[in-house]
């Protein structure tokens, strides 16, 4: 009996190991949208209408949320605006997601404006357009069909940016995004901002969790090398020392997907590879937990070969679904919490750059 039990346990362990090793491929198969069909593309949002926005200063939304230790400013009188692009928040086998699906609306608040865009509500007025986000396959296995889906998302973001500029006038602004939002934001920065008159009004670009290699950045917008530098771009991809790329990584077909990615350390705000200890981290904040609280000295950070390597990290105290997402991404892949791990430092740095821009 004991021998049979041991065999069953061994089989179960092997099954778990196999499941872990193949989870990324299974997910991509389930969510594969097949051939791109323009007729299946949902209608474009109308950015003149408030429902086309996940956040605006005059709306009550996730970007307004704050805790008592970190009070939000009055966005109606803020001197600077933020154009924020949320990460992938829709899961389904379609090339582009509808902007009015209830599940996607809720996920965009919980996984975007609440936990990320709120970092800017002390210094700035936050605008966050909804857009027909592309299927994750477009970024994991890019090809001609993937590019068609990305172009749909980019066309929405470009239209939203036009409305944003028309509404905000000649005010300074910050460009921000995460994951898919950061990839689309990089295109916007390269194609609509760099070298244009509007570039003079850009305080900084925080494009976090995207593979920002040199060919994806404009030479007219340098990396941020100092915490008070303006007109520059910030990016990082947080990974642990045991990280191994899997089929859910950006450019998963690349044998070295972390190669040449922009890494600005969110503790030192430099790119020089200096190790920053956790004690220098102003603190993490997970606003999607039951009792959000500042977690000081949460994680260390060091830029190494395109990755922001985190070797020590506190317990993020995530709920089951959030922990499942971290598990699914693979060992030591901290992509889903790249804003939250350094939330206070990011919040303070945005205010620092706004102050420096106004001098």
Each residue's pLDDT tens digit, 142-199: 899 999 999 999 999 999 999 999 999 999 999 999 999 999 999 999 999 999 999 9
Q: Is residue 24 a part of any domain in this protein?
A: no
pLDDT of residue 23: 56
Q: Is residue 21 a part of any domain in this protein?
A: no
Range in 57-61, 138-142, 236-240, 272-276 with the lowest mean pLDDT: 138-142
- Quick one: pLDDT band at residue 18, thresholds 50, 70, 90? very low
Collapsing DSSP to helix, strand or coil, 194 comes out as coil
pLDDT of residue 3: 44
Collapsing DSSP to helix, strand or coil, 45 comes out as coil
pLDDT of residue 251: 87
- Quick one: pLDDT band at residue 293, thresholds 50, 70, 90? very high
Q: Is residue 223 a part of any domain in this protein?
A: yes
CB 181 within 8 A of CB 86: yes
Q: Is residue 328 a part of any domain in this protein?
A: yes
Q: Is residue 227 a part of any domain in this protein?
A: yes
Query: CA-CA distances (angstroms) from residue 144 to 88, 94, 347?
Result: 20, 16, 38
- Nearest residue to 353 (alpha-carbon basis) of 225, 221, 263, 237: 225
Tell me the mean pLDDT in the region 303-308.
Answer: 97
- The model's pTM is 0.91
Query: CA-CA distances (angstroms) from residue 175 to 29, 65, 84, 113, 188?
Result: 33, 20, 6, 14, 9
Rounded to the nearest 10 degrees, the angle between the axes of helix 180-188 and helix 144-168 is 70
Q: Is residue 150 a part of any domain in this protein?
A: yes
Euclidean distance between CA atoms 128 and 82, whole angstroms: 8
Euclidean distance between CA atoms 56 and 81, whole angstroms: 10
Domain containing 311: what range?
Answer: 31-357
Q: Is residue 296 a part of any domain in this protein?
A: yes
Euclidean distance between CA atoms 121 and 77, whole angstroms: 11
Q: Is residue 186 a part of any domain in this protein?
A: yes
- Which has more confidence, 158 or 30? 158
pLDDT digits 0-9 by tens, 194-253? 999 999 999 999 999 999 999 999 999 999 999 999 999 999 999 999 998 888 899 888
Domain count, the chain: 1
* Mean model confidence pLDDT for the chain: 90
CB 41 within 8 A of CB 146: no
């Amino acid at each position: 009996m004991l021998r049979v039990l041991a065999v069953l346990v061994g089989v179960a362990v092997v099954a778990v190991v196999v499941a872990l090793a193949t989870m990324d491929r299974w997910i991509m198969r389930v969510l594969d949208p097949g051939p791109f069909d323009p007729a299946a593309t949902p209608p474009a949002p109308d950015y003149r209408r408030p429902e086309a926005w996940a956040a605006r200063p005059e709306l009550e939304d996730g970007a307004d949320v704050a805790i008592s230790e970190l009070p939000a400013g009055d966005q109606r009188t803020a001197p600077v605006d933020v154009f924020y692009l949320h990460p992938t928040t829709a899961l389904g086998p379609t090339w582009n997601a509808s902007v009015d699906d209830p599940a996607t609306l809720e996920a965009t608040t919980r996984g975007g404006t609440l936990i990320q865009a709120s970092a800017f509500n002390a210094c700035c007025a936050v605008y966050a357009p909804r857009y027909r986000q592309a299927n994750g396959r477009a970024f994991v296995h890019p090809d001609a069909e993937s590019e068609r889906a990305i172009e749909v998302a980019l066309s929405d973001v470009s239209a939203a940016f036009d409305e944003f500029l028309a509404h905000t006038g000649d005010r300074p602004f910050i460009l921000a995004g995460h994951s898919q939002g950061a990839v689309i934001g990089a295109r916007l920065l390269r194609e609509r901002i760099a070298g244009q008159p509007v570039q003079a009004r850009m305080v900084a670009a925080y494009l976090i969790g995207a593979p920002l290699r040199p060919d994806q950045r404009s030479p007219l917008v340098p990396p941020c090398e100092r915490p008070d530098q303006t007109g520059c771009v910030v990016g990082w991809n947080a990974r642990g020392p045991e990280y191994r790329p899997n089929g859910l990584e950006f450019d998963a077909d690349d044998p070295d997907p972390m190669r040449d990615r922009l890494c600005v350390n969110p503790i030192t705000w430099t790119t020089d590879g200096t190790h920053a200890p956790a004690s220098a981290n102003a603190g993490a904040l997970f606003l999607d937990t039951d009792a959000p609280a500042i977690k000081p000295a949460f994680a260390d950070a060091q830029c190494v070969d395109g990755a922001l390597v985190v070797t020590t990290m506190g317990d993020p105290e995530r709920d089951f679904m959030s922990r499942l997402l971290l598990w699914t991404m693979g060992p030591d892949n901290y992509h889903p919490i790249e804003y939250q791990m350094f939330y206070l430092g990011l919040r303070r740095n945005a205010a620092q750059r706004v102050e420096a821009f106004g001098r």
